[in-house]
Structure 1
Amino acid sequence: MNTNRRKFLRQGGQFAAGLMILPALACKQTKVIGGNAITGDLDRFGIQLYTLRDQMPKDPKGVLRKLSTYGYNTIESYEGKQGMFWGMTNKEFKSYMDELGMKIVSSHMNIDNDLQRKAAEAAEIGMDYVICPYIGPQKSMDAWKGVCDKFNKAGEICKKEGIKFAYHNHAYSFKAFSGMIPHDYLMDNTDADLVKHEMDIYWVVTGGADPIDYLKKYSGRFTLCHVKDRLKTATADETDATCVVGTGMIDFPKILKVAKENGMEHFILEQERYDNTTSLGAAEAGAKYLQKFKYA
């Protein structure tokens, strides 16, 4: 998620090289997806619809159908102008997902606006998570404490409605502040039963932290992740540097294996910038990459 999205809410060579280190995760079963024979033993992987933010508002059903042909079988939505169900009711959206052989498992949303109703609607159709996508850097320790209290309360509301609550990180929470690391503070001061976390792997790396260290240190707390790659040419301070998954510098074969071993439930592709492809092109390339993993 980049600056534009925050405002809204408040390439192949590396791929081939990556396959050389996939044996432990490699797939053995052949499936036909979108008319193509795909080698892969996969139960499910998903995509955050923000990746298709240029296409979804124009033709939600058409884009979702196209995603299903790429091999995606889980969806993470976000709360756009048409709502997280894209102009449909929750039950209409679920019915269309069923038709496509897909499932909506989570959605990013504004948790400060009518959370109980939205959590109830999400739970009613079997979604797993309601997710806070952004809180922004805080200016004091009291403010960070307030965030923890807010998340615990959101978790309680969601639990009562029969759904889980999670927070999606950005780079700022891995930067030292007042003698502590904000993300560690969030993990240590929220109820593990009420507050889960969606690890955006790109933003952990961009923040200067090691995703594997966090997955092991807080085993079982990160239950969703954004599989989002970072340009190999990006400088340390460059934030807008996402690229087609599998063409960047992030070691997904290693990270996703550790993630699965430590309680990761949902693996969700996301991409924010496009140099040599379209959003649909990035989604298709990402699906082909993820089909090489045996992680679910």
Structure 2
Amino acid sequence: MIERRQFLAAAAATAMLPAAAIAAPARPVIGVQLYMARELLAKDFEGTLAAIAATGVRHVEFAGFYDRDAAALRKILADNGLVAIGAHAVRADMDDAEIDRLIGQCAGIGMAYVVAPVPLVPAYRALAGKSDNPFRDAIAALTREDFLRTADRFNGIGERAKIAGMRFAYHTHGLDFLRFDGRYAFDDMVERCDPGLVDFELDIGNTIAAGVDPLPYLARLGRRASLAHLKDWRGPIEPAVDRIPPTAPIGEGIVDFQAMMRTMSAAGVGYAFIEEEETPADRVIAAIGSAYRHLGRL
């Protein structure tokens, strides 16, 4: 399942939020990454968004257009009182024309952020069909240069997003904490990416799954970590960069969300999205509601 998550060719669309309105609130606004509800959205898009809105959630991040155009999405979201903050929409391996098309589509909807969900992973396509676990083997083949090339590409994408009046962000995974010469690849990414062009969407759960404490990174990145993803795990976990532990409902696993909320607030994280990837479809709406209420009490 994580393989599909990592390499999904994400496209996105949602409600209207002027890019000029990007500002960090006193504490992160809690929303939901709609990948969590992908099976439900594919079967009943409108009904699923209405059910999510009924939980009290008002802010969403998309990972797919679901064959709706911008006008249809604006209406559906407005009808349900939802606001789309951004979308996992672009990838570093896309050509410039496709990136420009997707940025233009997101900007036309009024999103504040466009997000890349994965770095360059050159070996993945070559290994597909030739390996029993192409994701694992492609991660093992990554080099420091792959991450540096990704960062350079992200600077270019960030410039394109800026021209369109948006911010570009990169969503992290466990693989970002591969070590090269005793140094995390993510440290290279942070240094190589232009702060004026590239923000980070630190995935709290993925970072912990890789065996890394996200709190120092949140504090160090400050407002460059403008977005975050929230997950919880059943413990104990065995740290790994190429797989995730069993999912726990937010607030019932090993993650200290009180500490996370304090640190995210101090760092200026604007939006934190619930994303329980492995929750069965028939429990997704209840899980969103439970996580939203739990986080709201912290």
TM-score (norm 2): 0.80
Tell me, in whole angstroms, the C-alpha distance in 1 between the residues paired with 2:279 and 2:165. Answer: 37
Q: 8 Å contact 2:28–2:265 — kept in the other structure?
A: no
The aligned amino acid for 1:6 is Q
1:127 deviates by: 0.7
Q: Structure 2: which 5+ residue stretches go unaligned?
A: 11-25, 122-138
Q: Which residue of 1 aligns with 2:262?
A: 257
Tell me whether 1:56 sits opposite 2:24 in the alignment: no
The aligned amino acid for 2:38 is R
Residue from 198, 202, 211 that aligns with 1:199: 202
Tell me, in whole angstroms, the C-alpha distance in 2 between the residues paired with 1:43 and 1:265. Answer: 5
SS in structure 1 of the partner of residue 202 of structure 2: strand
Tell me whether 1:72 sits opposite 2:57 in the alignment: yes
Q: How many residues align?
A: 258
Tell me, in whole angstroms, the C-alpha distance in 2 between the residues paired with 1:276 and 1:126. Answer: 29
SS in structure 1 of the partner of residue 175 of structure 2: helix
Q: Which residue of 1 aligns with 2:23?
A: none
Q: Which residue of 1 aligns with 2:238?
A: 235
Tell me whether 1:148 sits opposite 2:145 in the alignment: no
Structure with the largest fraction of helix? 2
1:220 deviates by: 1.5
Residue from 85, 108, 116 that aligns with 2:100: 116
Tell me whether 1:139 sits opposite 2:142 in the alignment: yes
Range moving further from structure 2, 283-292 or 184-193: 283-292
Residue from 257, 275, 284 that aligns with 1:279: 284
Tell me, in whole angstroms, the C-alpha distance in 2 between the residues paired with 1:277 and 1:243. Answer: 16
Q: Which residue of 2 aligns with 1:106?
A: 86
Tell me whether 1:130 sits opposite 2:114 in the alignment: yes
Q: Which residue of 1 aligns with 2:253?
A: 248
Tell me, in whole angstroms, the C-alpha distance in 2 between the residues paired with 1:97 and 1:130. Answer: 18
The aligned amino acid for 1:258 is T
Tell me, in whole angstroms, the C-alpha distance in 2 between the residues paired with 1:200 and 1:185. Answer: 17
Q: Spell out the pairing of 1:25-64 with structure 2 (5 A cutoff).
A: 44-64=29-49
Tell me, in whole angstroms, the C-alpha distance in 1 between the residues paired with 2:54 and 2:228. Answer: 22
1:43 deviates by: 8.7
Tell me, in whole angstroms, the C-alpha distance in 2 between the residues paired with 1:131 and 1:256. Answer: 22
The aligned amino acid for 1:67 is I
Q: Which residue of 2 aligns with 1:36?
A: none
Tell me whether 1:96 sits opposite 2:76 in the alignment: yes
Q: 8 Å contact 1:45–1:74 — kept in the other structure?
A: yes
Q: Structure 1: which 5+ residue stretches go unaligned?
A: 11-40
Give the direction of change, closer, same or farther, for the CA distance of 1:185–1:244 in structure 2 (3 Å limit).
Answer: same
Using the aligned pairs only, state the percent identity. 25
Q: Spell out the pairing of 1:135-214 with structure 2 (5 A cutoff).
A: 135=119, 136=121, 137=139, 139-214=142-217
Give the direction of change, closer, same or farther, for the CA distance of 1:220–1:133 in structure 2 (3 Å limit).
Answer: same
Give the direction of change, closer, same or farther, for the CA distance of 1:248–1:43 in structure 2 (3 Å limit).
Answer: closer
The aligned amino acid for 1:212 is L
Q: 8 Å contact 1:44–1:72 — kept in the other structure?
A: no
1:277 deviates by: 6.7
Root-mean-square deviation over aligned CA pairs: 2.3
Tell me, in whole angstroms, the C-alpha distance in 2 between the residues paired with 1:193 and 1:69. Answer: 37
1:259 deviates by: 0.7
Q: Which residue of 1 aligns with 2:229?
A: 226
Q: 8 Å contact 2:27–2:270 — kept in the other structure?
A: no
Q: 8 Å contact 2:204–2:231 — kept in the other structure?
A: yes
Q: 8 Å contact 1:94–1:104 — kept in the other structure?
A: no
1:88 deviates by: 1.9
Q: Which residue of 2 aligns with 1:4?
A: 4
1:262 deviates by: 0.8
1:78 deviates by: 0.5
Tell me, in whole angstroms, the C-alpha distance in 2 between the residues paired with 1:167 and 1:220. Answer: 14
1:281 deviates by: 2.5
